Each structure stands twice: as structure tokens, then as C-alpha cells.
Amino acid sequence: MLYLTSWEEEGLPEGFKRSWKGYPFEVLDALSADDLIRGGHRSKSVYLTENGVNEAKQLIKKYLNDDQYIDR
């Protein structure tokens, strides 16, 4: 869901995808521990790491079987 609701901010290197932190902290902590997302505890958004983007794309292919979400 983080990937599907992400956006790219101006002023950051291309490919940096940010998403709001509207998910349980336990989930965000686990994703952070696996180096799939990064972001400070005080910020309201996180950004997906390269590993996070790749993992999201694999899950989209597996569960949605729809390439329209892959090249966002």
C-alpha cells in the first residue's frame, strides 16, 4: 500500500518515493528493520528504499498481475 499511495517530491533525486505514515507503527518498524522504508519518527511520511520499491513491484506482479502499477 505504501508504494501504491506514494509520490515523488520535487527537489529530491528521481525515483525517491514518499508515502504517508498512516499505518500501525509495528508494521512501519518491521519494514524499516528490513530496510524497505526509511524516515524519522517525527516526520509524517516515509520514503521507500530501492529494496522497498523492488519488493513492492514483485508483490504487485504476484497479487495484482497488473503492470499499470509497476511503472509509477
> What pTM does this model have?
0.81
Separation between Cα atoms, residue 9 and residue 63, nearest integer Å: 27
- pLDDT score for 69: 63
**Average pLDDT of span 15-41:** 91
| Mean pLDDT of the chain, nearest integer | 87
**Residue 42 banded pLDDT, cuts 50, 70, 90:** confident
- Domain ranges in the chain? 7-69
Share of the chain above pLDDT 70, in %: 90
Separation between Cα atoms, residue 39 and residue 28, nearest integer Å: 10
Query: Rounded to the nearest 5°, which phi and psi values hold at 45?
Result: -135, 165
